[in-house]
Amino acid sequence: MTGPADNGSAAKGSADQGSADKDGQVPEHDPHAPGPHDPDGRGHFGPYGGRFMPEALIGALDELSAEYDKARLDPEFTDEFARLLRDYAGRPSLLTEAPRFAEHAGGARVFLKREDLNHTGSHKINNVLGQALLTKRMGKKRVIAETGAGQHGVATATACALMGLDCVVYMGEVDTQRQALNVARMKLLGAEVIPVTSGSRTLKDAINEALRDWVTNVDTTHYLLGTAAGGHPFPVMVRNFHKVIGIEARAQFLAQTGRLPDVVTACVGGGSNAIGIFHGFIDDPDVRLVGIEPGGKGIETGEHGATLSEGSPGMLHGALSYLLQDEDGQTIEAYSISAGLDYPGVGPEHSWLKDTARAEYRSVTDAEAMHAFQLLSRTEGVIPAIESSHALAGALKLGQELGPDAFILVNLSGRGDKDMDTAAKYFGFYEES
Amino acid sequence: MGRLDPLFAQTKAEGRAALIGYLPAGFPTVDDSVELLRAMVDSGCDLVEVGLPYSDPVMDGPTIQAAAETALRSGFRLRDLFRVVEAVSSAGGRAVVMTYWNPVHRYGVDAFARDLAAAGGLGMITPDLIPDEAGDWIAASQAHDLDRIFLVAPSSSEERIALTTAASSGFVYATAVMGVTGARDAVGSAAEGLVARTRAHTTLPIGVGLGVRSGAQAAQVAGFADAVIVGSALVTSASSGVGAVRELATDLAEGVRKTPTTIG
């Protein structure tokens, strides 16, 4: 009873997603409904989150909060969002068992939530469709965004093309080189791509530059932040736009296996795909939630992006959360082979999930991620994003730890087409030809 | 009673606005920054803002970003900040610190306030800390008798201006334009309106910053504000040496004295 044919019946529509629930618990049907996992009124998850932002932006954050609080309860908005996810993004995404890959995971059963099959090739489309709809509701005509690997930039440019919004994407100069194909995609979609040459010239600096643009043009412009980080309401809002991943996956998992997974794992850069899938299972106490951070060249080398594993609480880009920082509070530049994961901060809810031990965070190295990247390609015919390959490498280890009785759900957050150049260089394919 | 109250009592008695000059500590080196800040004081800055160089200065334009990078590359450490403040204070200058919040949080808010006060600092300007999140700082500033200078912006609602001014002491920092720091040809027309809106909520002096670069502009701002704040223009002139800083500070000091201010 596995395979793509089962996916549709399990998760079509929004009203009956829990119908396959066999353990008697009532799953969360409405991803937008306020609930016990929301932050307090000022955006705090425990001590984390909040608004460490310039006063000049507080008005815009207040406006966004007020609009989002109305929209999340407004069927006109939530229905339109659900329609776009279904008819434009292609949801529900499949749940695919990966038995040949799983042979390398201690014989555990491994299932992939196929966010790579969404329109634009990653989970990012969920959040951008939601925020672009909000932008229109607020009467703003211009959207700015940051991007690391280019997945969020492409998704934002896509939503802006769809909805007739002007789009400017800030991208670190280093990343524009690593991800030239995505730069071309964004331009084709009508976006202006601005290479950022300050600081480390990667994602962190792209966010800095986008914030500088926003504070200057806030009357006309919405900052479409791409991860569940930043000042309130971004972490809760972005999370809720991605909850569909976890809600679908839970129903699909039950339909295919008759049970819940033992572990749900996802890669964590800023943490948006992870928070989205985790929330499908957050009230299932027996389901372990494991976030996989980029260990880069190895934690001991200092060249990594393992914020939750190695960082300490601090403020970056508007929220208190774990942060890679030195003893003076200066941000330490992150490193990962994956342009989408080399971010020294992380969304504040992950910090809270770590401190409360509801989720665990560990890291895998570049080499482990690239091994999983190749392994999934060769065993299942699915080329994952290098970001998602971190979660796959985590699943290999988890499977070996847990043994053949384990059921593991991996969020395959994106596809690897964009990473072909990095991969070809890494594996020496160019020299072979 | 704010630590900066005597300063503003004096400038008010003189019928003029105060001149406040900004320079990052450690720019271009720690010793040079001490010399430059002392020169600013000598040339007529009533108060100096000693900036703390930070890796992610999202409120700053290219000039101050580059200065912060220079300071950090040449080895600036947080403890050097207190040395710079102490050097300004011991030479008879008045100093407050302007800093993004994370370095203070990392150092420990109370410890930072304690060490700043011990160095002779009078207060702190916090561009990315709003009163809503400032519980620790409000307590520490009271414990160590430091002024809390929060910011208001053209986009601030009346409610937020009321909240922000109520939490402030010393003066209130009004950002003249929506945008990052940097010298501009014209100070935003929003500034005067913002000052007027802010006055409705507080008797604290109001300083206007973001964009002032000349004596003429300083005079214009002094026409409606209690203090004129100059940053990027001084940082730019610092690149040409201490003589250029003296020249600009002198011009600005003349500017704040030009405008006839209604007394009482």
CATH of domain A95-121+242-432: 3.40.50.1100
Give the pLDDT of residue A135.
98
- SS3 of residue A164 by DSSP: coil
Residue A3: pLDDT over 70: no
| Band of pLDDT at residue A203, cut at 50, 70 and 90 | confident
- The residue among B210 and B22 whose pLDDT is bigger is B22
pLDDT at A385 over 60: yes
Reported as a single tens digit per residue, the pLDDT across A145-179 is: 999 888 899 999 999 999 999 999 999 998 898 78
If 0-12 CB within 10 Å is exposed, 13-18 middle and 19+ buried, where does residue A53 land? buried
For B135-193, write each residue's pLDDT tens digit. 999 999 999 999 999 999 999 999 999 999 999 999 999 998 888 877 666 666 789 99
What's the mean pLDDT when you consider all of chain B?
94
Angle of the B109-118 helix axis to the B78-90 helix axis, nearest 10: 30
- Considering only residues A413 and A200, tell me which one the structure prediction assigns the higher pLDDT: A413
From the candidates A42, A55, A333, which should be mutated to test the interface with B, based on the most B CB atoms within 10 A?
A55
CATH class of A47-88+124-235: alpha beta
Q: Does position A192 have pLDDT exceeding 50, yes or no? A: yes
Q: What is the pLDDT of residue A29?
A: 66
CA terminus-to-terminus distance, chain B: 20
Cis peptide preceding B28, ω within 30 of 0: yes
Q: Given this model, what pLDDT does residue B186 score?
A: 65
CB atoms within 10 A of CB A119: 17
Of B222, B229, B248, B257, nearest to B36 (Cα)? B248
Model confidence at B14, in pLDDT bands (50, 70, 90)? Answer: very high
Q: What is the pLDDT of residues A234-282, one digit of tens each?
A: 999 999 999 999 999 999 999 999 999 999 999 999 999 999 999 999 9
Residues of chain A with C-beta less than 8 angstroms from the C-beta of B153: 54-56, 59
Q: Is B264 a residue whose pLDDT tops 80?
A: no
For chain B, the residues whose C-beta falls within 8 A of a C-beta of chain A are: 54-59, 61-62, 65, 69, 72, 77-78, 101-107, 127-130, 132-133, 150-157, 160, 164, 175, 178-180
Where along chain B do its domains lie? 5-258
Name the strand (E) or helix (H) holding A373: helix A366-380
Quote the pLDDT of residue A8. 40
**Residue among A221, A137, A62, A143 at smallest CA distance from B178:** A221
Which residues of chain A neighbour B179 with C-beta distances below 8 Å? 212, 215-216
User: Which CATH homologous superfamily contains domain B5-258?
Assistant: Aldolase class I (3.20.20.70)
Mutation target to probe the B interface, by most B beta carbons within 10 A, among A223, A232, A328, A332 is: A328
| Same fold: A47-88+124-235 with A95-121+242-432 | yes
Average pLDDT over residues A428-432: 87
Verify whether residue B86 is a known catalytic residue. Answer: no
Sorted by where each begins, the domain ranges of chain A are 47-88+124-235, 95-121+242-432
Q: pLDDT tens digits, residue range B20-69?
A: 999 999 999 999 999 999 999 999 999 999 999 999 999 998 899 999 99
Provide ipTM, 2 decimals: 0.94
Q: What average pLDDT does chain A have? A: 92
Cβ–Cβ below 8 Å for B178 and A56: yes
Chain B, nearest residue to A54 by Cα = B128
Which pLDDT tens digit goes with each residue over A5-52? Answer: 444 444 433 434 444 444 444 444 689 999 999 999 999 999 999 999
**pLDDT greater at residue A203 or residue A413:** A413
Please answer yes or no on whether B101 and A52 come within 8 Å at the CB atom: yes
- B49 as an active site residue: the answer is yes
Rounded average pLDDT over B1-9: 94
* Structure confidence by residue, pLDDT tens digits, A334-370: 999 998 898 999 999 999 999 999 999 999 999 999 9
Which of A196-205, B14-23, B95-104, B205-214 has the weakest average pLDDT?
A196-205
Contact B155 A56 (CB under 8 A): yes
Catalytic residue numbers of A, as ranges? 124, 146, 413
Q: How confident is the model over B224-251, as pLDDT tens digits?
A: 999 999 999 999 999 999 999 999 999 9
Provide the phi-psi class of B210: left if phi over 0, else alpha when psi is between -120 and 50, else beta. left
Chain B hits for A58, CB-CB cut-off 8 Å, are: 130, 155-156, 160
Using the structure block, give the residue that is written with the tokens 């000598």: B42
- How far is it, in rounded angstroms, from Cα B29 to Cα B72? 9
Kindly tell me if the per-residue pLDDT of A409 is higher than 90: yes
